[in-house]
A and B are shown apart, each in its own frame.
Chain A
Amino acid sequence: MSRRAVITGVGVVAPGGIGTKAYWQLLSEGRTATRIITHFDASPYRSRMAGEADFDPVREGLTPQEIRRLDRAAQFAVVAGREAMADSGIEFDQLDPGRIGVSLGTAVGCTTSLEREFIVGSDRGKYWEVDASYAVPHLYDYFTPSSMATELAWTVGAEGPVSVVSTGCTSGLDSVGYAAELIMEGSADVVVTGGTEAPLSPITVVCFDVIRASSTRNDDPTTACRPFDKTRDGLVLGEGSAIIVLEELEHARARGAHIYGEVAGFASRCNAYHMTGLHPEGIEMSDAINIALKQARADATDVGYINAHGSGTKQNDLHETAAFKRSLGAHAYKTPVSGFKSMIGHSLGAIGSLEIVGSLLAFEQDLIPPTANLHEQDPECDLDYTPLVAREKKVDTLLTVGSGFGGFQSAMVLKKVEGAGR
C-alpha cells in the first residue's frame, strides 16, 4: 500500500495581514501589499520597495525570550506554525513525537540579524577583524539557518527527521516536496513544513540591485510587480511565511480531519545553465512539470489552474510560459495562470509555500486569485494569466512552480482528495 501525503493545516504570515484569513482576502480581492520599504532607510538603493508584513511579535504571542532569540524569519515560522497546528486539529502532544518531522525552507536564513550584528561588530565595516566582544549570545543561531528548523521542531514537539531545505527561491516548494517524501517513504506520519523568509535588509536589497533584477518603479510601489505585463521591470522583494501540516492520508482519515488537498506529485530539476539566468525554452521546468504530473497520475489536460512563479522579470515570464506550453501543449492556452508575487512580492524561500497555501484556498473557495497589475499583456506571453480580477472556477488538480538562483526549477501537483469533508 503506497502512502500518500495530504495537507490538513495551514498558517500564514504575509504582507497585507497575519493569518490565513487576511491572506486569502488580499489574494481573492487582487489587492497588492507592496510599498516603499519602512524597515530601514532604503533611499540609497536602486529598488526601494517590498512587500512588508505588519508583524508585531508581542501581539502574535511570542515571549520576550523568543523575541530576543529569534530572527524575524524564525518568528514568522513559529507564528505561522502555531496557526497551522491549530488549524489541523491535531493534538500534537498526543502523537508519538518520533513520528513527527519538520522540513523548513529558507533561502537566506537569518541574514537580517547577521547584517545587523556585523554592522556593530565591524563598526560599519571599519574592521575586518570583527570585534567578538559585541557578539550577541545567539549569534551562532543566525550563522546557520538550521536553528530555525529547531525552533519550529520545538514548537510542534517533533522528534522525527528535522531539517532545513535551502534551494534559494524554490526552497518553499522543495521543503514541502521533501516533507512529502518523508511521509511517503514511511519516516514520519506528520511533517510540519513550509517556508519562511525575512530578507528585507540592505545587503539583500543590494544583491538584487547590482544584477538589476529588481524593479525601479519606486514612484508607484503598489503596482511595481507586474508579471506578464509588457511594462514590467523586475521583481519586488517580500517577506513572510507559510507553514503547512502534511499528514499521511490514512492518519488524517482516521481522525476525520479536513483535508485541503494532496501533494500528489513533486519534482525538482537543475538547469545546468547559469547561476542567475534562465534559458528561454524552459526545458528543465517543463521536465519537472512532466515528472510531477506523472507521479500524480495526472494528464496535462487534468490541470485546472497553474500557479506561476511570476517574479516580474521578462526572462522569467518567457521561461515559464514556454515551459507551460511545452508540458501542457494546447491545454496550456485553456488553463488559467496567475502569479501571487504581483500582490505580495517575492519572499524568496517562503514564497513557494505561500503559493501552495494560496492555491489550496483557491481549491476550497472555487476561486482563482488573479495576477495583479496586469494591464498590458506582453504579446510574447500568450496564455491566460487571469488579469486583475479573481475568477470562479472549480479546480480538482493544480500545478504550482518555482524557479530560482542556482538554476533550480521545481513543480508540484496538488490534487483534491475525495471524501475530504469538514
Chain B
Amino acid sequence: MTRAVVTGIGIASPNGLGPTAYWRATLHGEAAIKPITRFDSANYWAKIAGEVPGFEAGRHLQGRLLPQTDHMTRLTLVGTDWALRGAGVQPNDIPDTDIAVITAATAGGYEFGQRELQKLWHQGPEYVSAYQSFAWFYAVNTGQISIRHGTRGPGAVVVSEQAGGIDSIGHARRQLRKGVQLALTGGMDSSLCPWAWVAHQASGCLSRNNNPKRAYLPFDRDAAGYVAGEGGAIMVLETPESAAERPGTRIYGEIVGYAATFDSKMPSREPGLKRAAELALRDAGMDASEIDVVFADAAGIPELDKAEAEAIKGIFGPYGVPVTAPKTMTGRLFAGGGSLDVASAILSIYWSAIPPTVNVENVVPEYELDLVMNEARHGKIKAALVLGRGKGGFNSAMVVREYR
C-alpha cells in the first residue's frame, strides 16, 4: 500500500506562526485566548477568542490578492507557502498534475460574505464585489492554492464541521493511493466577525465564562463549553519515494490510519467515536498498546467529554494512555482544528514530547484519564492517535507514527 509521509507543515495558530514558534509556545503551555479585538464584542455575551496575532497578509501576499480574499484564505495561502518551503518543494520539482489539493472548510470566507451582504442590503446590488462569487464559498481555499502554485492534479473540499480537518488529510492520503505524488492538505479557518459570532452563540457550544483561564476546560468538572479560535495547519503529504527525490528532505512522520464514523440520532445507539478510533487503528494495522499519546477532541461540553473519556477508556483501559488537548491554549479552530491536532501529533513524535493541556485543574475522577496537565511530558513518542468530532454527529480518527 502507498505510504503517506508529512514533509512540510505550515501553521497559523493563536499561539504561534510557523511550526517552530507554535511548537515552542505549545510545549510551554502558552495560552492565547484573549478578549476579542477583531470586532466590537460589547453586544455579545461571548467576549473572548483565540485570534492569530501579528499576521499581516500584505507582507506575505501580492496586493492583488487582498481585495479578493477573506482572512481565512490569506492564512491558508501563507500557511501553504510555509509548508512547501519547509518541505523544500520548488516549482517544477514535481509534475503539476501529480499534486492534489484537499482542504477542509466550515463556513467559508464568512467575514468577506458579511461585508458583501451588508453592501447589498444597505447600499445596493451595484456595490457588491465581483469577488463575492468565490471569496465566500467553501471551495475557495483549494481553488486559490491550486492557482497560486500551479497545481493541476485532483482538488477537493470536505465539510464535516470540526472533524473536517482530519477528514481532509484522510482524503489526501486517498489521492496518494490513487497515484498522485504529493498533496497539499489540511485546513485553516476563521470566522471572527459579528455575523459569524451570532451563529457561534446560537450553537449552544460556546462557553459563557469570559475569563480566558476558566472558559474552556475539557474533561474538567467545570467544563461548560468551548472558546472559538482561528488558524490551523496546512501540510505537505507525499509518498516516501517522492520525498526521496529531494535529498535532505525532513520526514516528520507518517499517516498510517484513518477512519470516520457518524453518531446515530437514536439515544439507544452508542456514539461512534470509539468505533472511529478502532477502525483507524485497524487501518494502521496497530494495537492500542502501540499508541503513546491521544490528542483528544476535548469538546469542553460535559456530555461530550464523558463520551470521549469512555471511548478512550474503552480502548486503552483506565489511565491507560497519556491524553492531551493543546487546543486549550488556542480555542477550537473549526476546519483548522483537526489538522492542527494532526500537526501537533506529528511534532510530538518528531520532538519526543507531549504538549500539555492548560487551565484544566479538576478532571472528573470517573473519566479515569491520564490527562497531561500544566507541563509537557518528555520522552520517546512512536505513535499518536488524534480524535476529532463535528457538531451534528461527525467522528474522525487518525493514527500517525514515526517514519521508519
Interface residues of A (CB under 8 A from B): 44-46, 97-98, 101-102, 107-109, 115, 118-119, 121-122, 124-126, 128-132, 135-147, 149-150, 153-154, 157-168, 171, 174, 178, 181, 185, 187, 202-203, 206-211, 213, 267-276, 284, 287, 404-408
**Could you tell me if A135 and B201 are in contact, using CB atoms closer than 8 angstroms?**
yes
A129-B155 contact, Cβ under 8 Å, with A157-B264, A162-B262: no
Segment 16-68 of B: residues with Cβ below 8 Å from A: 39-40, 42-45, 68
**Could you tell me if B155 and A142 are in contact, using CB atoms closer than 8 angstroms?**
no
Proximity string of chain B (94-116) to chain A, C-beta cutoff 8 Å, 1 when within and 0 when not: 00110001000111101000101
Given A121-B198, A207-B128, A405-B143, 13 new contacts (CB under 8 A): A109-B108, A126-B122, A129-B42, A139-B198, A139-B202, A140-B204, A150-B394, A163-B167, A270-B153, A272-B150, A275-B134, A275-B147, A408-B142
B residues in contact with A284, CB < 8 Å: 152
Closest A residue to B104 by CB, please name it. Answer: A163
**Could you tell me if B142 and A167 are in contact, using CB atoms closer than 8 angstroms?**
yes
**Could you tell me if B202 and A144 are in contact, using CB atoms closer than 8 angstroms?**
no
Tell me which of A162, A164, A407 contacts B146 (CB under 8 A): A407
**Could you tell me if A273 and B128 are in contact, using CB atoms closer than 8 angstroms?**
no
**Could you tell me if B394 and A167 are in contact, using CB atoms closer than 8 angstroms?**
no
Tell me which of B44, B122, B202, B261 contacts A140 (CB under 8 A): B202
Tell me which of A131, A138, A146, A174 contacts B156 (CB under 8 A): A174
A366 to chain B, nearest CB (A): 33
Max chain B C-beta neighbours (<10 A), residue from A126, A171, A207: A207
**Could you tell me if A143 and B134 are in contact, using CB atoms closer than 8 angstroms?**
no
A residues in contact with B394, CB < 8 Å: 146, 150, 162-163
Tell me which of A101, A126, A187, A203 contacts B116 (CB under 8 A): A203
**Could you tell me if A211 and B261 are in contact, using CB atoms closer than 8 angstroms?**
no
A residues in contact with B201, CB < 8 Å: 132, 135
Asked whether any CB of chain A lies closer than 8 Å to the CB of B372, the reply is no
B338 to chain A, nearest CB (A): 12
Name 30 interchain pairs, CB-CB below 8 A, sorted by A.
Answer: A97-B264, A115-B117, A118-B117, A121-B195, A130-B195, A130-B197, A131-B198, A144-B106, A146-B391, A146-B394, A147-B161, A153-B262, A159-B262, A162-B160, A163-B260, A165-B159, A167-B142, A167-B155, A167-B156, A203-B117, A207-B133, A210-B129, A268-B154, A268-B155, A268-B156, A269-B155, A270-B153, A272-B151, A273-B147, A408-B143
**Could you tell me if A146 and B159 are in contact, using CB atoms closer than 8 angstroms?**
yes
A270-B140 contact, Cβ under 8 Å, with A162-B262, A210-B129, A405-B133: no
Give Cα A273 to B146, complex, Å. 8
**Could you tell me if B155 and A136 are in contact, using CB atoms closer than 8 angstroms?**
no
A287-B152 contact, Cβ under 8 Å, with A140-B203, A270-B146: yes
A residues in contact with B107, CB < 8 Å: 143-144
Asked whether any CB of chain A lies closer than 8 Å to the CB of B242, the reply is no
Closest B residue to A267 by CB, please name it. Answer: B154
**Could you tell me if A119 and B138 are in contact, using CB atoms closer than 8 angstroms?**
no
A146-B154 contact, Cβ under 8 Å, with A118-B114, A129-B39, A140-B203: no
B residues in contact with A181, CB < 8 Å: 174
Max chain A C-beta neighbours (<10 A), residue from B149, B163, B195, B204: B195
Tell me which of B203, B269, B393 contacts A153 (CB under 8 A): B393
A residues in contact with B269, CB < 8 Å: 97, 159
* Top 7 closest pairs, chain A to chain B, by CB: A406-B143, A125-B122, A125-B121, A150-B392, A270-B146, A140-B203, A166-B138
**Could you tell me if A128 and B118 are in contact, using CB atoms closer than 8 angstroms?**
yes
A residues in contact with B152, CB < 8 Å: 269-272, 284, 287
**Could you tell me if A407 and B155 are in contact, using CB atoms closer than 8 angstroms?**
yes
Closest B residue to A177 by CB, please name it. Answer: B156
A163-B159 contact, Cβ under 8 Å, with A145-B138, A153-B262, A206-B120: yes
A186 to chain B, nearest CB (A): 10
A residues in contact with B171, CB < 8 Å: 178
The contact size tier of chain B is 35 or more
B residues in contact with A107, CB < 8 Å: 137-139
Max chain A C-beta neighbours (<10 A), residue from B44, B161, B204, B263: B161
A146-B392 contact, Cβ under 8 Å, with A128-B118, A164-B159, A276-B133: yes
B residues in contact with A407, CB < 8 Å: 143, 146-147, 155
A residues in contact with B164, CB < 8 Å: 146, 163
Asked whether any CB of chain A lies closer than 8 Å to the CB of B157, the reply is yes
* Tally of A-B Cβ pairs under 8 angstroms: 270
**Could you tell me if A163 and B96 are in contact, using CB atoms closer than 8 angstroms?**
no
Max chain A C-beta neighbours (<10 A), residue from B138, B140, B196: B138
Tell me which of B121, B197, B261, B262 contacts A124 (CB under 8 A): B121
**Could you tell me if A163 and B158 are in contact, using CB atoms closer than 8 angstroms?**
yes
**Could you tell me if B118 and A131 are in contact, using CB atoms closer than 8 angstroms?**
no
B146 to chain A, nearest CB (A): 4
B residues in contact with A140, CB < 8 Å: 199-200, 202-204, 391
Closest B residue to A162 by CB, please name it. Answer: B262
**Could you tell me if B43 and A131 are in contact, using CB atoms closer than 8 angstroms?**
yes
**Could you tell me if B125 and A405 are in contact, using CB atoms closer than 8 angstroms?**
no
Segment 157-194 of B: residues with Cβ below 8 Å from A: 157-161, 163-164, 167, 171, 174, 177, 191, 194
**Could you tell me if B392 and A149 are in contact, using CB atoms closer than 8 angstroms?**
yes
B136 to chain A, nearest CB (A): 8
Tell me which of B44, B129, B155 contacts A132 (CB under 8 A): B44
Tell me which of B137, B161, B200, B265 contacts A405 (CB under 8 A): B137
Give Cα A181 to B133, complex, Å. 29
Asked whether any CB of chain A lies closer than 8 Å to the CB of B390, the reply is yes
**Could you tell me if B262 and A102 are in contact, using CB atoms closer than 8 angstroms?**
yes
**Could you tell me if B96 and A272 are in contact, using CB atoms closer than 8 angstroms?**
yes
**Could you tell me if B160 and A149 are in contact, using CB atoms closer than 8 angstroms?**
yes
Give Cα A77 to B300, complex, Å. 32
Max chain A C-beta neighbours (<10 A), residue from B42, B146, B259: B146
Tell me which of A45, A121, A187, A202 contacts B259 (CB under 8 A): A187
B182 to chain A, nearest CB (A): 13
Asked whether any CB of chain A lies closer than 8 Å to the CB of B275, the reply is yes
Asked whether any CB of chain A lies closer than 8 Å to the CB of B339, the reply is no
B residues in contact with A157, CB < 8 Å: 264
Tell me which of A129, A145, A150 contacts B40 (CB under 8 A): A129
B residues in contact with A275, CB < 8 Å: 68, 131, 134, 140, 143-144, 147
A residues in contact with B144, CB < 8 Å: 275, 406
**Could you tell me if B134 and A406 are in contact, using CB atoms closer than 8 angstroms?**
yes
**Could you tell me if B155 and A159 are in contact, using CB atoms closer than 8 angstroms?**
no
Proximity string of chain B (243-274) to chain A, C-beta cutoff 8 Å, 1 when within and 0 when not: 00000000000000001111111000100100
Give Cα A145 to B105, complex, Å. 10
Max chain B C-beta neighbours (<10 A), residue from A122, A150, A161, A284: A161
Tell me which of A115, A125, A129 contacts B43 (CB under 8 A): A129
Tell me which of B97, B128, B160 contacts A210 (CB under 8 A): B128
Give Cα A187 to B152, complex, Å. 27
**Could you tell me if B121 and A119 are in contact, using CB atoms closer than 8 angstroms?**
yes
B149 to chain A, nearest CB (A): 8
Give Cα A332 to B391, complex, Å. 47
B residues in contact with A167, CB < 8 Å: 139, 142, 155-157
A160-B262 contact, Cβ under 8 Å, with A125-B122, A143-B196: yes
Give Cα A157 to B142, complex, Å. 31
B residues in contact with A159, CB < 8 Å: 261-264, 269, 272, 275
Asked whether any CB of chain A lies closer than 8 Å to the CB of B382, the reply is no
